[in-house]
Amino acid sequence: MTSRSTTLPPDFVAQILPVGNMDEETAFQLFRATYASDVSLDVIVPVLSALNFHPLSISLLAQTARQNQWSPKRVVDSWTQRHVRLLKTEYRSLGETFELSLQSSVIQRHVQALSFLQIIAFLPTGVDENKLQELFPDVPDVHGLVDTLCNHSLVYQAGDFITMLAPIRLYITDAYNRTGIPLLDDVRRYYYKRLQEPMVGDSGAWIAAEDDNIEQIIALDLSIHTRQEIGCNACIHFIQHLIRHKRRPTALDELVGKLPEDDSKYVEFFGLCFPRLFGRNRTTVRKRTCTLTLGLLAAQIGHSAEALTLLLDSKRLFALLDDWDTVCICLELIGQIYILRGQMNAAKKILDEGLKTSKRAEDPQGARFKLIVTLGWVKILEQARDHRRIPDFEEAEAFFMQHNDTAWVTYSLNRRAYAELYRRNFDAARDCLHREHALHTEANNDRGCMGSLMALAEVALAEGVRDLDEANRLLDEARDLALRINDMQKASLALAVKSALSADVKNFSLARSQIEQAKREMTFAEENENFRLVWCIYLSARNEFMAHDYDRAKTLFKETLKWSNTESDTYTAVRSMKALGEIALLQGNTEEARMWGEQADRQSQVSGVASYLHDIKYHCCLMKNSFEGRRLYQDGGLPSPGVLSV
């Protein structure tokens, strides 16, 4: 009765209920509830993943672990040992059962049954039933083959996908897939052709569903010398699709890093060196672009340390080719990451290097203007108090408009809007952001539209404007758009900021529920590298501070400080230090307050971030570098900033 077969005896009355595979979080909750002991997600998820998150398998494993009082380590060790035993013991009961099934006359009518099972075992997600004919054009009666294999419980249907249970997958992989996977060429051809389509009609739904399959094939190709070139091409397109439709980490960095890069720019002829005019190793050339796209993806998902490593390596690789235009692109991107990390000294240094390098570019003016816009953002953050010294971006904006570079026109408009905001030219700031939003709308750039809406919310919250209703409306619009395209990070960020607005009007119950929902929605890879999760924790602390629950606020600020590494997230770290200093004052501990104040000032000096930037008024709450940490708190009767230096 636990078979995957849907064929039941004719005299047995029953309703067949499909039981699909679970998602990672639900599978973990099921295991933990049955296991009834504390266990870490990181420890047990690899085992649950190997079980394909199949509920019956997870339940049996958890019950066995509970009855035998296994520790989490013992669970993992037991799984590993039994996996080895499954494949290596002399009895090989699973293998014998599988081989016997293959000898069935019904299965033998399908000459490519084993080949089909091999590709199912290779692809993590299985194959989409709706695409069987496209994936396997040379397999006769492929739908009939699937029905036969399902009836023999060798495969099963999970939603739209045909897949198999972990033990069968492990057996086929060990017994057959080591020597080759016959149908892989057809599947590779289908996926790689789709990857070359710049935009997909289903808004990236196929990438979101089948990305694991594609990554598996690319990883295989990158590890085979004769397939590295085609693997590089596919990797570049794949990462571009992920950036558009499903931003997540990949396991491709290490494989790309191992690709060859020693292709000389010169050839030797009778002891003389001549420039190589043709015949460059195309894999070597493509490695640079692979590294650059992986760096862009890492930056998008909040892995700033990984992004810096990849982009610095990409810069080095493009310099080997004398491609100074792309070197400038790498330097500008590195500068942006340093700005987000709060490392202004490092940002200025790298962007100044870019300005010098731009003179060697084929398009020196274009490279220079891009670097100037990002360097201008550094100047905004450094000189926000002196409105006369804030740079304007009109010249750069005009250049990009002349060259129809919409992406840089919108970026320049956004930076210019913040410059106007700091100048208190609110109408000018709104105008820039409305123009930016219109360009994003015209280009169907939903993520760009979200950014414009959230920036407009900042203007609505500016001192002298302070329109909470308008800010909430804009944040709701941004959140709805994010939910529509399943961008949970932006959706949760908008909700987190709404929680701050709720706290402002002393609706602390609503603020708490909103921030907790934002945390639940947040999808993250590594907590200490994802500033949006840190931001949610910080806002939660800030809301408790405003509710005068200082003990809870102190705990949350320390948690924020724990995750906001002072090198990778200076802004939030310094704000938390200052807030902890204020709490210490409120609790009568002057020495502790002075300690936190000195740490905050010292860290500000090291990073090059002016200390006052952490206290800019509330209208900048959406920017990592400028959330109001202290002045708004003083509305509740808290000490003035000068007290900390007493």
Task: Dig out the tokens for 459 from the structure.
Answer: 């203007």
Task: Dig out the tokens for 474 from the structure.
Answer: 């804009």
449 or 66, which is more confident: 449
Q: What are phi and psi of 264, to 5 degrees?
A: -70, 150
Residue 569, domain member (yes or no): yes
Instruction: Return d(Cα 282, Cα 226) in angstroms, integer.
Output: 12
1 in helix, strand or coil?
A: coil
Residue 133, domain member (yes or no): no
pLDDT (average), residues 146-173: 86
pLDDT (average), residues 380-392: 59
Q: DSSP of 310-372, one letter per residue?
A: HHHHHHHHHHHTT-HHHHHHHHHHHHHHHHHHT-HHHHHHHHHHHHHHGGGSSSHHHHHHHHH
Q: Would you say residue 4 has pLDDT above 60?
A: no
pLDDT at 170: 84
Q: Would you say residue 275 has pLDDT above 90?
A: no
Task: Dig out the tokens for 637 from the structure.
Answer: 């009767």
Q: Which residues contact 586 (CB under 8 A, 6 or more apart)?
A: 550, 638, 639
Q: CA geometry: angle at 220 spanning 529 and 123, to 5°?
A: 85
pLDDT at 641: 45
pLDDT at 201: 60
Confidence of residue 574 (pLDDT cuts 50, 70, 90): confident
Residue 302, phi-psi category: left (phi > 0), alpha (psi -120 to 50), beta (remainder)? left
**Burial (Cβ within 10 Å: 0-12, 13-18, ≥19) of residue 355:** middle
Task: State the helix-helix crossing angle for 531-546 and 488-504, rounded to 10 degrees.
Answer: 10
pLDDT for 169-183, tens place per residue? 888 888 888 778 989
pLDDT (average), residues 112-125: 91
Residue 582, domain member (yes or no): yes
Cα–Cα distances (Å) from 287 to 166, 267, 307, 518, in that order, read 34, 21, 16, 38
pLDDT at 600: 80
Q: What are phi and psi of 259, to 5 degrees?
A: -65, 155
Residue 518, domain member (yes or no): no
pLDDT at 522: 75
- Strand-pairing partners, residue 267, are 274
Q: Do residues 572 and 564 lie in contact, with contact meaning Cβ atoms separated by under 8 Å? A: yes
pLDDT for 206-241, tens place per residue? 888 899 999 999 999 999 888 888 999 999 999 999
Q: Would you say residue 200 has pLDDT above 90?
A: no
Residue 60, domain member (yes or no): no
Domain that holds residue 584: 529-645
pLDDT at 390: 54
Q: Do residues 513 and 505 lie in contact, with contact meaning Cβ atoms separated by under 8 Å? A: no
Q: Would you say residue 267 has pLDDT above 50?
A: no
Of 239, 270, 301, the last residue of a domain is 301
> Helical H runs in 246-303?
253-257, 282-300
Closest CA to 99 of 167, 10, 175, 164: 175
pLDDT at 629: 35
pLDDT at 9: 59
Task: Among 246-260, 376-390, 617-631, name the most confident range.
Answer: 246-260
Q: Do residues 242 and 211 lie in contact, with contact meaning Cβ atoms separated by under 8 Å? A: yes
607 or 545, which is more confident: 545
pLDDT at 218: 96
Number of domain units in the chain? 2
Among 44-58, 272-286, 353-367, the minimum mean pLDDT is found in: 272-286
Instruction: Return d(Cα 119, Cα 175) in angstroms, integer.
Output: 13
pLDDT for 428-465, tens place per residue? 999 999 999 999 999 988 989 999 999 999 888 876 66
Q: Do residues 570 and 531 lie in contact, with contact meaning Cβ atoms separated by under 8 Å? A: no
What percent of the chain has pLDDT above 70?
79
Q: Would you say residue 147 has pLDDT above 60?
A: yes
567 or 75, which is more confident: 75
Greatest Cα pair distance in the chain: 90
* H/E segment holding residue 468: helix 468-484
Instruction: Return d(Cα 408, Cα 179) in angstroms, integer.
Output: 50
Q: Would you say residue 120 has pLDDT above 50?
A: yes
Q: Would you say residue 273 has pLDDT above 80?
A: no
pLDDT at 221: 94
Q: What is the pTM of this model?
A: 0.73
pLDDT (average), residues 562-569: 67
pLDDT at 614: 46
Instruction: Return d(Cα 604, Cα 331) in angstroms, integer.
Output: 23
User: What is the dihedral sign for C-alpha 72, 74, 77, 82?
Assistant: negative
Residue 616, domain member (yes or no): yes
Q: Would you say residue 632 has pLDDT above 50?
A: no
Q: Would you say residue 301 has pLDDT above 90?
A: no
pLDDT at 32: 86
- Within the chain, how many helices (H) and strands (E) appear? 30, 5
Among 22-31, 179-188, 521-530, 587-596, the minimum mean pLDDT is found in: 521-530
Q: Do residues 354 and 332 lie in contact, with contact meaning Cβ atoms separated by under 8 Å? A: yes
Instruction: Return d(Cα 344, Cα 346) in angstroms, integer.
Output: 5
Cα–Cα distances (Å) from 348 to 1, 10, 210, 355, 420, in that order, read 67, 77, 41, 10, 22
- DSSP state at residue 220: H
Average model confidence (pLDDT) across the chain:
80
Q: Which residues contact 101 (CB under 8 A, 6 or more apart)?
A: 107, 152, 154
pLDDT at 479: 95
User: What is the dihedral sign for C-alpha 325, 413, 483, 500?
Assistant: positive
pLDDT for 309-368, tens place per residue? 999 999 999 998 889 999 999 999 999 888 877 777 888 999 999 999 999 999 999 999
Residue 393, domain member (yes or no): no
Residue 149, domain member (yes or no): no
**Burial (Cβ within 10 Å: 0-12, 13-18, ≥19) of residue 363:** middle
